[in-house]
Amino acid sequence: MLNKGTYSFSTCWNIRRHTAGRGMVEEIKELGFQYVELNYNVTDELLATIEPMIEKGEIGVSSVHNVFPHVPDKDYDTDSVMLGFDDEDKRKRAVELLIRSMEYADRYGAKAVVVHPGEVPFDTNIDAELKQIYREKGKESAEYRSLWDAMLERRERLSPHYRRRIEESLHTAAEYAAKRNWKVVLGIETRSRCYQMPTLMEAKAICDSLSGSGVGLWFDIGHAMMMERMGLYDNPSEIELVKPYVYGVHIHETLELSDHWCPYVHSGTDRCFDLFLPIIDQAEVKVYELKAVCAPEEIHESHALLIKKLETMPKEEAE
């Protein structure tokens, strides 16, 4: 078993297979990971047997994923307006839940809380509609271009408003944490749906606005790959602009518009993923976020390939 060093591993991989937290974490430890990211589906019941492991030093926690622990409310799940709600009561509740996540992170010695900040709301799931057209007719089809342009017009028109709401919410949470001397970074994550926030450039704007407050970019590689394929990102140029803001990274790869696969192993190519090696290299927190079908031997192979590539990466690429 290869010790994975400071790399962390998200519980999203095996949470559906376990009813007890200890067993879930032990399975991750068997892969060679000494750190976990506790994701948003971790319940109080699972924590009952995980917390003693943390207290005894049996496992380290790199990060927790807001909302944490799990809250069974669709208004505050991973795909919601969340910190951008115009409804002040809902937004206040979203901030309270984020502060609760930060409190747990501080208690566990975690470095960061991964945050899905919000979205530009649509009446329907236009992202799912676009992905279906992408798969069936292609990105260059008239149907895709028409719906994409409609989505982009609304997104670009409304995103400044929701960005300001998100900034207000993050500022409130960060200010609360500073008063309690919590050394926990709020990592705003690049998302997997085209109407969700932030894009890379929106993340840069938010981080600039909240400079010095403990807000950074959580760069999700698989999501960035998908958003570039759909037409929302330009990773080669935008990565250079956001690199200084990156605090954490979710490591996984995509097959077309399907994410959370093992880098290099499932795609069978290194052409696309190599672009993100400098981001991984510089990130303070590095977390694998893989789907349940990824087998242990594939995870080991993927990590070995990644480490070899990082070790042999030309120095100028790592700077």
Per-residue pLDDT tens over the stretch 182-214: 999 999 999 999 999 999 999 999 999 999 999
How do residues 207-252 score in pLDDT, each as one tens digit? 999 999 999 999 999 999 999 999 999 999 999 999 999 999 999 9
- Closest among 4, 15, 35, 39 to 218, alpha carbons compared: 39
Q: Which amino acid is at 88?
A: E
In a domain, 269, yes or no: yes
- Please give the torsion angle defined by the CA atoms of residues 144, 225, 296 and 65, in that order, rounded to the nearest 10 degrees: -100
Domain for residue 158, yes or no?
yes
CB 216 within 8 A of CB 246: yes
d(CA 280, CA 47): 29
Query: Within a domain: residue 195?
Result: yes
Is 2 part of any domain? no
pLDDT the model gives residue 165: 98
Is the model's pLDDT at 1 over the cut of 70? no
Q: Does residue 292 fall inside a structural domain? A: yes
Inter-residue contact 265 to 298 (CB < 8 Å): yes
Q: What is the pTM of this model?
A: 0.96
Cα 177–Cα 181–Cα 187 angle in degrees, nearest 5? 45
User: What's the structural domain count of the chain?
Assistant: 1
Tokens 């010790």 found at: 3
For 287-307, what is the HEC assignment?
A: EECCCCCCCHHHHHHHHHHHH
Strand segments, DSSP code E, in 203-293 are 215-220, 246-251, 253-255, 258-261, 285-288
pLDDT of 161 reads 98
SS3 139: coil
How many angstroms separate the Cα of 58 from the Cα of each of 55, 148, 162, 214?
8, 48, 41, 28
CATH number for position 37: 3.20.20.150
Considering the domain boundaries, does residue 3 fall inside one?
no
pLDDT reading at 136 higher than 80: yes
Do residues 188 and 170 lie in contact, with contact meaning Cβ atoms separated by under 8 Å? Answer: yes
Q: Please give the helix or strand (H or E) that residue 119 lies within, else none.
A: strand 118-119
Show the domain range for 128: 8-318
Q: Considering the domain boundaries, does residue 103 fall inside one?
A: yes
* pLDDT tens, residue by residue, 155-168: 999 999 999 999 99
- Residue tagged 């622990």 (tokens): 69
Question: Does 215 map to a domain?
Answer: yes
